[in-house]
Amino acid sequence: MGNDIKITEVGDGLFQFKFSMESQLNWVINNGPWSFDNHILLLRRWEKGMTVFSVKFLTVSIWVQVWGLPFDLIKEEVGRDIGKGIGRVIDVDSKAIASDQARFLRVRVEMPLDKPIRRWAPILSPEGDKVWVAFQYECLVGLCFRCGLLGHEAKACIDANGREGEESPYGD
């Protein structure tokens, strides 16, 4: 990258990235989430008045695959509705839908970091039938398999509900 990007440490674990072109910044923001050393790299655009002490990372943008939908419900508007249950919808991957080969929906959401990830959810078909769909998160790192939050591993989890030796509700 050479002179295209400048990285400066501005606080404990806080770095400022300066790009020479807006298009580079947009590419990085739109193609995450990113990780470094098996830790999620949370990114935020600079806002006027932001300081080292005021910057907060409350969400992560991530692609979520929705599996188990009836084929007739693999539509953009359904993806937006389901995505709203996970977080703020940024985009629905319409290329996969248009291919007529879609086995799942892809929805990019801004997901809150203070809530556990959702593994599945019930949806209602137009006929009123309840269908359970499963969520798979793309490029997900730093997930605690005990409490479902991002940012720490199960061995560092302080979740009081988790008991030693119990099955982890989010996998192994």
Could you report the per-residue pLDDT of 8-67, keeping only the tens digit for each?
Answer: 899 888 888 999 999 998 898 888 888 888 788 888 888 898 888 888 888 899 999 999
pLDDT digits (tens, 9 = 90+) for 151-163: 777 777 876 455 5
Are residue 94 and residue 23 in the same domain, yes or no? no
Which amino acid, one-letter code, is at 142?
G
Domain that holds residue 73: 59-156
Concatenated DSSP letters of 119-146:
-EEEEE-TTS-EEEEEEEETT--SB-TT
Same domain assignment for residues 78 and 12: no
Q: What is the 3-state secondary structure (H, E, C) of 36-72?
A: ECCEEECCCCCCCCCCCCCCCCCEEEEEEEEECCCHH
Residue 133: Cβ within 10 Å count: 20
Q: Provide the 3-class DSSP secondary structure of residue 80.
A: helix
pTM for this prediction? 0.79
Tally of domains in the chain: 2
